[in-house]
Amino acid sequence: MESGNLGWIMISAALVLFMIPGLALFYGGMDSRRNVLNMLMMNFYCALIVPILWVVIGYSLAQVPFENDFIGSLDSFMLGDIARAGDGSTLATVAFLGMFAAITPALISGAVADRMKFSAWAIFVPVWVLLAYVPVFKWVYGGWLGQRGSLDFAGGTAIHVNAGIAALAAVLILGKRRGDVSPPHSMPLVMIGTGILWFGWFGFNAGSALAASGQAAQAFMNTFLAAAAGGLFWVLVEWIRDGHPTNLGAASGIVAGLVAITPAAGYVSGVAPIVIGALAGIICCYAVRLKKKFNYDDALDVVGVHFVGGIVGSLLIGFFANPEFFELEFEKGLFFGGDAGLLIEQALANGVAIVWSFIVTSIILVALKVTIGIRVDAETEHNGLDLALHGETAYHS
């Protein structure tokens, strides 16, 4: 591998790692002041446990050998020969993918906010990564879903849909929060978190080309445009519908646009990222209301933004995929001379991910519920999780 490509993968890995504190602040600002530290810790914990798990067995189960249909192997336990092999390109890729594995369960934290026991979260994260993330990742990248022709450039199906549906399963098992729900305690934290996420997402998407290539540059541009369009259109809907252009609307739309462009980033060009981002902004702006309609307590809208945004982006690949532009081999979307085949494969891949992740997440959480318990007691929930679970207080005054 050329040094430029190797350098870009390592920088991208660091950019993706930086998304975890970004996500923590994005969620933490939206949370109440008595639970903000618990939210930060749930996110940072993912960056503590998952990289180790990934290197010990996660990567091997997810990718070695690449051709396996359903699951990898333990051939690269503790990375095996990978660490010494060649020019470091595989090692850099393992690190890059390890960051993805770390941020995926972190996404779920926003849904279970304000009421989940940290001990349950501490067990849930590594078990979920092994049983839900690794298999779906394998099927999409190199496994049977990818071989059938479905496309997922940087993790729409494997990451956002996977984590989004897990979030739904989690809140259904966990139950609703008690008492009144607080509004965001610090919008400035939400906005700086959003900025960090956007910045890191360039590594997430453009890094997924695994080379400093033209495809990477287009993914970079798509990431830029879809986020802007998502934020713009969410704010427009809000302004017309509710009367104010809000910071939270801008932040949510940016993230919705980023989520939606993630699976498509290396397959679309031209006006497509703007359309994908705009549609994600509009659709997710309405999707966050589903929780009221269907009466589930997705605290910080992981389902409405990540699940719905991921589905929107993944399905739109079926319309906008343009292999001629990239001079690469993949299925054409409907707008570029393809038939409905790609759209069907996209729907199938997401359907499989949804069913698998929902069932596995439910089993893990029910098992935890009947053993150690997954909810804090009523008094802890009322007084705040920060002091009771972590012995810390975010703001002294």
Partner 1 sequence: MKLITAIVKPFKIDDVKNALKSAGITGITVSEVKGFGRQGGHTETYRGSEYQIDFVPKVKVEIVVSPEMVDSAIETLMQAASTGKIGDGKIWVTDVETIIRIRTGEKGNDAI
Spatial separation of the C-alpha atoms in residues 150 and 158, rounded to whole Å: 12
3-class SS string, 131-193: HHHHHHHHHHCCCHHHHCCCCCCCCHHHHHHHHHHHHHHHHHHHCCCCCCCCCCCCHHHHHHH
Q: Does 183 participate in binding partner 1 (rule CB under 8 A)? A: yes
Shortest spacing between CB 216 and partner 1, in angstroms: 33
Q: Does 289 participate in binding partner 1 (rule CB under 8 A)? A: yes
Q: Does 52 participate in binding partner 1 (rule CB under 8 A)? A: no
* Cis peptide bond prior to 263, omega within 30° of 0: no
Q: Does 396 participate in binding partner 1 (rule CB under 8 A)? A: no
Q: Name which of 181 and 372 has its Cβ closer to partner 1.
A: 181
Q: Name which of 37 and 256 has its Cβ closer to partner 1.
A: 256
Q: Name which of 78 and 181 has its Cβ closer to partner 1.
A: 181
The site that binds partner 1 (CB under 8 A) totals a number of residues, namely: 19
Contacting partner 1 within 152-181 (CB under 8 A): 181
Residue 37: its H or E element: helix 36-53
Shortest spacing between CB 319 and partner 1, in angstroms: 28
Q: Which amino acid is at 268?
A: V
- Whether residue 291 contacts residue 308, with contact meaning beta carbons closer than 8 Å, is answered with no
Shortest spacing between CB 249 and partner 1, in angstroms: 7
| From candidates 40, 50, 53, 285, binder to partner 1 by CB under 8 A | 285
| From candidates 95, 278, 288, 343, binder to partner 1 by CB under 8 A | 288
Shortest spacing between CB 181 and partner 1, in angstroms: 8
Q: Name which of 285 and 353 has its Cβ closer to partner 1.
A: 285
- What would the x/- binding string for partner 1 be over residues 223 to 252, using CB under 8 A? ---------------x--xxxx-x-xx--x
Q: Does 292 participate in binding partner 1 (rule CB under 8 A)? A: yes
Q: How far apart are the first and last CA of the chain?
A: 54
What single DSSP character describes residue 374?
S
Q: Name which of 206 and 235 has its Cβ closer to partner 1.
A: 235
Shortest spacing between CB 382 and partner 1, in angstroms: 17
Shortest spacing between CB 164 and partner 1, in angstroms: 16
Spatial separation of the C-alpha atoms in residues 211 and 3, rounded to whole Å: 10
Q: Does 392 participate in binding partner 1 (rule CB under 8 A)? A: no
Q: In which residue are the tokens 């307590």 written?
A: 297
Q: Name which of 101 and 254 has its Cβ closer to partner 1.
A: 254
- What would the x/- binding string for partner 1 be over residues 102 to 141, using CB under 8 A? ----------------------------------------
Q: What share of the chain is helix, strand, coil (3-state, %, to 5)?
A: 70, 0, 30
Spatial separation of the C-alpha atoms in residues 359 and 355, rounded to whole Å: 6
Rg for the chain (alpha carbons), in Å?
20
Q: Does 301 participate in binding partner 1 (rule CB under 8 A)? A: yes
Query: Which region, left, alpha or beta, applies to residue 68 given φ > 0 means left and ψ of -120 to 50 means alpha?
Result: beta
Shortest spacing between CB 111 and partner 1, in angstroms: 14
Shortest spacing between CB 250 and partner 1, in angstroms: 11
Query: Quick one: 259 exposed, middle or buried, by C-beta within 10 A (0-12, 13-18, 19+)?
Result: buried
- Whether residue 151 contacts residue 338, with contact meaning beta carbons closer than 8 Å, is answered with no
* Interacting residues toward partner 1 by CB under 8 A: 30, 181-184, 238, 241-244, 246, 248-249, 252, 285, 288-289, 292, 301
